[in-house]
Chain A
Amino acid sequence: MPKYSLRINGSVHDVDVAADTPLLWVLRDVLGMTGTKFGCGANQCGACTVHLDGAPARSCTRAISGAANREITTIEGLGAEGLTTLQNAWLAEDVPQCGYCQSGQLMAASALLADNPDPSDEDIDRAMLRNICRCGTYQRIRKAIHRAAREG
């Protein structure tokens, strides 16, 4: 099997998996980083969202061969140096219910704010459209993103 060298949250990991293995399963099964969630495996729900070179990407449909040599950030890397403003906003608005979609929501939201520091409701809806929350925490997601934007 081919070997890949991955840069995840600032550290290098060498893995040995089939080239078509999606990044999601490398993170979860090979490296034990289970913060990135499996929701659909089909680019439908956003639970598996990570950042590749700072841009949001669905790790469930991103083959490992295309993720090597990129800067990968996962939820574990988001608050590595203490909770971010965004995560604190999430706590302040009590966003999560079951919590399962929230890693993906946070990764999508942090990419949005990096891109657009003061998004409107429409900007938020557009950017977060691909992240399902079956518990229905959407209105709190909107509030938390606005709060994070305010608190910079």
Chain B
Amino acid sequence: MSDFNVVNVSRRDVLKTLGLATGFVVSSAVVPKGIRALANRALADGILADRLEPSVYLALDTDGMVHAYIHRVEMGQGARTGLTQILADELEANWDRIHVVPAFGDLKFGSQNTDGSTSIRMFYDAFRMAGATARHMLEDAAAAEWGVARDQVEATDHKILNKVTGRSQDYRDFVAAAALLTAPAAESVTLKTRAQHRYIGKPVRNLHMEEFATGSSIYGQDVRREGMVYAVAARPPSVGGKLTGYNREAALAVSGVLDVVELPEMKAGWGFQPLGGVAVIATNTWAAIQGRKALAASFDGGPNGSFDTTEYEASLWRSIDAGGEETYARGDVDTALAGSARRITADYFVPFQHHAPMEPPAATAEWIDGKLNIWTSCQDPQAVQNTVAPYVGVAAEDIYVEATLLGGAFGRKSKPDFAVEAAVLATHAQRPVKMIWTREDDVQHGFYHAISAQRVDVGLDASGRVQAWDHRAAYPSLMETATGQQTDAATSFEVGPVMEQPLVVPHMRIRSGEAKAHVRVGWLRSVTSIQHAFAMGSMIDEIAEVTGRRPDEVWQDLFGSVLTGADLTDASRREPRPLVAERLGAVLRRVTEMSGYGRALPPGTGIGLAAFTSFGSFTAAALEVSVSEDGEVHVPRAWTAIDCGLAVSPERVTSQMEGAVVFGLTIALHGAITVKNGAVEQDNFDGYQVCRINEAPEVEVAIFENEHPLGGAGEPGVPPVAAALSNGIFAAVGKRIRRLPVGDQLTG
């Protein structure tokens, strides 16, 4: 054996030479003492993999360095840190010896679509298993090396303890040997208990925190490549509009402008296609922007050129009047309504909203040795691969797509039209091109959260109990964006959140009215739960008003209690209703207590409550709202609670919940995109206003922990906010807000 020297042999041959086994499976039982020396020798001879790689999500180098392949992107929600915590915990890794690899697109990872608050809950089990499997293999290798029984070794903090000798040795000493082993079957891998967790559920600082504080974090807008040029584009103001003219010479005359390039026209079936138009390539961004001005590009309106949000809203109310398609029903709503002692009917309206992430979209593309490379702040590198591929004539998997950090996204960057533009231009220019969206581009060419109209008809019996809830909605569907199929009404998936609430009403119906999309409709943080939580949460408060009861009690009755009868066995529900009611009731109770609900408040001040279940989690908010004599709304304090089963990164869940209040307040107080003659009227933060520091309340967050399956955390904090605000306004000054944003409704 000391002459062990083989050239060009496979791992299997090495194992044979070592006299270990003839098959691939080497269990610890047959691994002889001294395997590490042999493995290291083989490694030195270059015939073995120099890393332990039992999963696509992690690898260990022979110096003990852990490479964590965190395939989901980081946009402020903390997913990359959270997933690393899960991996490191089960691996018993030392936090400082983990290198997190940037996310790049590859099907082998499973879904990389960082959307729907899914990163942690979808990959919790897989990441635990990956870490635990590697730990198990290192322990096997150590037991074999020391010639001790398997239960006499234990991995802790990047070391393995030999219980017989009481001595510990670093992981690095066992990596090469463990790499000889075949990964154990899942059943033989023991996962840690919650009590044993060292990172999961513990306050761990975001991986990028120090970069953020020093300005060294790299976003899509910050990518730099050797020889790179910069591009901006003029796009048709309305979807489907076509380029009709531009002054190429004037643009080329601008100092720094290198080229003017037409972009491919948009085809039917929108999807994530870019809008078309014409791009200016220059030596720096400013020159490109000046060149674009000089172009004076003109467009025809196309099929949506006369779109007008004021007229459209009227059409949505006509759809509501017409009834719409039934998407859900229980009991007999019409009869119950007709027989009710009292009726409440209210109309709720929410305008188009925009993501406006702090970092406008950007992508850099470069061909290197015949392969296309893209670095971009995208939410799904696989979607970038798939969307770009047909434009450049290569297979999706042959495009290298790396996700940089994202300067916020909120759903916008799951639609990689900007990456297609970069790829088309880099192909044309045959040099690296960074496609930059300015804020004006971002606000005017977005994928907007749908404008919506809702009418809720409620029937009460003589004692004030709610017997019927007839919910109508009309808003354009996001499906043409999501699937490329024209869809002329909100789908049952989109109105689903209404059904998902544990509403204690025996007779219920949900209908969706006709509403064709004329702008690209996208998904914005918490999606249709935004408008549905606003309508449902407002109506619950209106029921309290009409029946003269305390809102907190009505909330508990309608959202925190169990309805007996048919609905309990409704198989179309995702989760059993009693559990939903129990969890939602608990978060409601918590914010009621935290806020001191019912305490005496100064005049013009009130507390508004709301709760909602979304993305597998349960959240509630209480907002203290004061309205000044001249109608200015101020929210000094807010209390929120979330039950997401387990908060892997409590620190991040807390900050997501804090941020969600501000995000929800932007929607409730300011957010509105309006369209005239097919073009968006707002173009920057002066037109599309977002909350600033003077409007940000002090938010206190409660996090529940239990044994239920994990829920999401990035989005669920948003839905209750708008209703809590409008209910707070009602409590403060008795004025009911049924249209968002509040804007100047109280000052006028």
Q: Are B658 and A136 in contact (CB under 8 A)?
A: yes
In the docked arrangement, what's the CA distance between A59 and B405, Å? Answer: 23
- Min Cβ gap A3→B in Å is 14
Q: Which of A107-152 contact B (CB under 8 A)?
A: 124-126, 128-142
Give per-residue flags for B626-663: 1 if the beta carbon is below 8 A from chain A beta carbons, else 0.
00000000000000000000000001000110111111
Mark B residues whose CB is within 8 Å of A: 74-78, 205-206, 208-219, 221-222, 224, 230, 255-256, 283-287, 289-290, 356-360, 405-410, 436, 438-439, 651, 655-656, 658-663, 684-686, 690-694, 696-699
Apart from A75-B214, A99-B208, A135-B358, list 10 A-B contacts with CB within 8 A: A38-B436, A44-B685, A79-B213, A83-B210, A96-B212, A100-B408, A102-B215, A106-B213, A129-B693, A130-B692
- Min Cβ gap A103→B in Å is 4
**When A36-B215, A98-B76 are in contact, do A132 and B692 touch as well, CB less than 8 Å?**
yes
Cβ-based interface call for A10 (8 A): no
For this complex, 9 residue pairs linking A to B, each with C-beta atoms less than 8 Å apart, are A34-B224, A36-B215, A44-B684, A44-B686, A96-B208, A98-B405, A98-B407, A100-B359, A134-B690
Cβ-based interface call for A51 (8 A): no
Cross-chain contact of A25 among B205, B284, B360, B662 (Cβ < 8 A): B284
Cross-chain contact of A134 among B256, B289, B408, B699 (Cβ < 8 A): B408
- Min Cβ gap A32→B in Å is 6
Cβ-based interface call for A1 (8 A): yes
Cβ-based interface call for A22 (8 A): yes
The interface on chain A, measured as residues whose beta carbon lies within 8 A of the other chain's beta carbons, has a size of 61
Among A76, A98, A129, max chain B CB count under 10 A is at A98
Q: Are A29 and B230 in contact (CB under 8 A)?
A: yes
Q: Are B213 and A97 in contact (CB under 8 A)?
A: no
Q: Are B655 and A29 in contact (CB under 8 A)?
A: no
Residues of A within 8 A of B217 (CB): 99
Cβ-based interface call for A35 (8 A): yes
Residues of B within 8 A of A34 (CB): 215, 218, 221-222, 224
In the docked arrangement, what's the CA distance between A74 and B696, Å? Answer: 27
Among A21, A79, A138, A142, max chain B CB count under 10 A is at A138
Which residue of chain A lies nearest to B209 when distances are taken between CB atoms in the complex?
Answer: A91
Residues of B within 8 A of A36 (CB): 215
Cross-chain contact of A137 among B77, B219, B659 (Cβ < 8 A): B659
- Min Cβ gap A113→B in Å is 15
Give per-residue flags for A16-57: 1 if the beta carbon is below 8 A from chain B beta carbons, else 0.
011011100100111010111111111011010000000000
Q: Are B213 and A87 in contact (CB under 8 A)?
A: yes
In the docked arrangement, what's the CA distance between A125 and B213, Å? Answer: 20
Q: Which of A64-100 contact B (CB under 8 A)?
A: 74-76, 78-79, 83, 87, 90-91, 94-100
Q: Are B215 and A18 in contact (CB under 8 A)?
A: no
In the docked arrangement, what's the CA distance between A71 and B656, Å? Answer: 38
- Min Cβ gap A138→B in Å is 3
Q: Are A136 and B663 in contact (CB under 8 A)?
A: yes
**When A40-B685, A96-B209 are in contact, do A35 and B221 touch as well, CB less than 8 Å?**
no
- Min Cβ gap B12→A in Å is 47
